[in-house]
Structure 1
Amino acid sequence: MHIGKYKVTGLLGTGGMGRVYKAQLPEINKTVALKRLRPRPHMVQLLGDKAIEKMFMDEARILADLRHPYVAAILDFDRDSEGRPFFTMEYHCVNLGDMTGEHYIMETPARSLPPDRAVRYLRQVLSGLGRLHDAGIIHRDVKPYNMLISESDQVRIIDFGLSLLRGETRGVPEQFKIGTPYYTAPEQEADPDRVDERADIYGAGVLAWRMLTGYLPPDLGEKPVPGEINPLLGQCWDDFLLCATHPKPDKRFSDCREMTTALDRAFDSWQQRLEKTCRMQEVPAVGRTSDADHTQPVRTTPVKVSLSAAKKRFGLDALWRPSGRRTPEFVVCDDHTVRDKTHSRLWQKAGSSWPMEWSRARQYIDSLNARAFGGVQNWRLPTVDELALLLVPVSVLGDYCAPPVFSGDIHRFWSADRKSFVAAWFVDTSLGYAGAADFTCQCHVRAVSDCPPYG
């Protein structure tokens, strides 16, 4: 299937106004996200063809006019053989919804992010939203699935189909809801055409709740404050999160700059608490072995596992995290390798400098063996089970006091296990979950090799 000059290689998602495809520009094999106008019948009945096309064109113009590192860039615009408009954007495999594991039943708990990682993403979201607001644009649909994460681990804000220019009146029918449940500010639900920047502040606040606690903010007075939901946070974040998601707009932060200042203040307070905790305790050992670790072998042979069978095959819980923890004892051998005494493994300490496609991950392993990296020539891609050995559970503040064993601020690693003929499994060692991605996605590589038992 082709749309214009682009070859469609997969469907990424569908919405009320159109579909988003993964597509390729054949001449140079560049992968893009292609969004084509194809509204659902009920949308046409509600809004009419002209209004829908105007919203689609407005989205393309917004993306074309903006230049910001945290806002997705538009690459091309055209019409297909049927005269339907489409545009292409930069393509990234991952979004914050994937990272948190947000379910279509949104009340279901999700994965929380380490505070430093959540703060970095949220600062980028606020920077991008601030750029929109300076241009007089209200996004009106701030949520995890509209926040792509690039290969360089940076946010790209997408989906401006519901955006509103300040002072504009769309006049959509009352039954046409603008926004996403739970992330939509109360005043937007009541009158979507009269909202200002504080509606996006609310959405960013809910996003912060999700990343820091794994939960959506409760109704006022119904449930504990954030620090009671996730004790790792303490009370440092309570005022920030409650202010950002206050039901009354005049009680929230007035703009993204004010919210960013408050975010930095909360994070500084949390870091001071962390430093105090670490000063008061002995640095914990990196790994403690147990009898179970010695008696249960860890799979080394790659397997092909479908999505439906993966949780059982890999031993994952409802949020795709390993349900049983192994506790290897790591020993840093030199600047290049780390030894797992418990499971007789040798790991690459730093991993690849750059993320790469799965096919190139194989080439990278070959290059390590060709030059006998670390004095070893039997490097290979680890299995999901082996990558799970690298997960360090963090449940209390003191867990952050242990010095890192592996170097490099990288988290997502390819495994040798495949999901299908075009996709493989990866493990995010920071968030502690396994996921699948097609071969054209990019993850880092951390090679492993077998070694004799530690003497």
Structure 2
Amino acid sequence: MGKYRLHVLIISFVFLLTPIIHSAEEPFITLRSSYKDLSISQVQLMSNISIRERGDWGFCGHSTINNRYEKLSIRGDSVVVNHATGLMWHQSGSDDYITWNNAYEWIRDLNNRGYAGCHDWRLPTVEEAASLLESRNRNGVKPYIDPLFSYKQWEIWTGDKIDSMDGAWCIGFDDGSVHWSTVSSVNFVRPVRSGKMFPPSCLMGSLDCFWMTSM
């Protein structure tokens, strides 16, 4: 009886792990992960974006990537994995508005705590953050972000700065904008991580890792 139960557990784990392996074999759309100082014109030339309005502040638009999201709970912490880009996102982010410099301190504390078993969370680049922008009609709702994400963080910092100015690039999910703000202003933080999508405990079938929502 004990051997039978063990075989059932092994078979169940193989079926659970199969979607992860399949997703890992699919090619990702690679987005820049290193920070840059970018001009307004450079941001407006960003790939994988459909722009509907341009201005001296940035642009409004949405991502053209066919995002494939999956919401997970790892060690009790909620994340959203995008199988199209290979990125893992914090499902919500900071509870309060913070300045750009304080955003780095907030993420350092998050890494020290090991959110979702990971210690390599960071601010997204503008390309990574803009990949979350949905068109107004895609989900039939106004917020320009998939409903798997918390909407409380309606405007977030990126790690990219605007050249020749004391500002950084931001993403607004209330209006689908990519715009810059001074680093002394305040926004929310939604960190991201790349590289190994899942922490080791998840890949080894730890009971700390639960699939909450399928693609």
TM (norm. structure 2) is 0.66
Q: C-alpha displacement at 1:408, in angstroms? A: 4.2
Residue by residue over 1:256-287, the C-alpha shift from the partner in whole angstroms, topping out at 9 and shown as x without a partner, is xxxxxxxxxxxxxxxxxxxxxxxxxxxxxxxx
Residue by residue over 1:108-139, the C-alpha shift from the partner in whole angstroms, topping out at 9 and shown as x without a partner, is xxxxxxxxxxxxxxxxxxxxxxxxxxxxxxxx
Residue number in structure 1 paired with 2:160: 417
Contact 1:388/1:429 (CA < 8 Å) preserved in 2?
A: no
Change (3 A) 1:308 1:422: same
| Residue 75 of structure 2 corresponds to residue 331 of structure 1 | no
Q: Which amino acid aligns with 2:86?
A: S
Contact 1:352/1:446 (CA < 8 Å) preserved in 2?
A: yes
Q: Which has the higher strand share?
A: 2
Q: C-alpha displacement at 1:410, in angstroms? A: 2.5
Change (3 A) 1:344 1:295: closer
**Local SS of the residue matching 1:437:** strand
Contact 1:415/1:425 (CA < 8 Å) preserved in 2?
A: yes
Q: How many positions carry a matched residue from both structures?
A: 162
Contact 1:391/1:429 (CA < 8 Å) preserved in 2?
A: yes
Contact 2:123/2:191 (CA < 8 Å) preserved in 1?
A: yes
Distance 1:438 1:445 in 2: 15
| Residue 184 of structure 2 corresponds to residue 440 of structure 1 | yes
Change (3 A) 1:345 1:358: same
Distance 1:324 1:308 in 2: 18
Change (3 A) 1:443 1:331: same
**Local SS of the residue matching 2:106:** helix
Q: Which has the larger radius of gyration?
A: 1
Q: C-alpha displacement at 1:439, in angstroms? A: 0.6
Map 1:247-258; keep pairs closer than 5 Å.
Answer: none
Q: Which has the higher helix share?
A: 1
Distance 2:30 2:50 in 1: 17
Residue number in structure 2 paired with 1:400: 141
TM (norm. structure 1) is 0.33
C-alpha RMSD over aligned residues:
2.7
Change (3 A) 1:372 1:295: closer
Return 5+ residue gaps in structure 1 as ranges.
1-292
Contact 1:339/1:347 (CA < 8 Å) preserved in 2?
A: yes
Residue number in structure 2 paired with 1:354: 96
Residue by residue over 1:341-369, the C-alpha shift from the partner in whole angstroms, topping out at 9 and shown as x without a partner, is 22111111111000111000111111111
The structure, 1 or 2, with the larger RCO (C-alpha pairs under 8 Å, 6+ apart) is 2
Map 1:250-269; keep pairs closer than 5 Å.
Answer: none
Same amino acid, percent of matched pairs: 22
Change (3 A) 1:309 1:344: closer
Q: C-alpha displacement at 1:308, in angstroms? A: 3.9
Residue number in structure 2 paired with 1:274: none
Change (3 A) 1:453 1:378: closer
Map 1:30-429; keep pairs closer than 5 Å.
Answer: 294=27, 296-313=29-46, 317=51, 318-319=53-54, 320-322=59-61, 325-334=64-73, 335-395=77-137, 399-400=140-141, 404-420=147-163, 422-429=166-173
Residue by residue over 1:122-175, the C-alpha shift from the partner in whole angstroms, topping out at 9 and shown as x without a partner, is xxxxxxxxxxxxxxxxxxxxxxxxxxxxxxxxxxxxxxxxxxxxxxxxxxxxxx
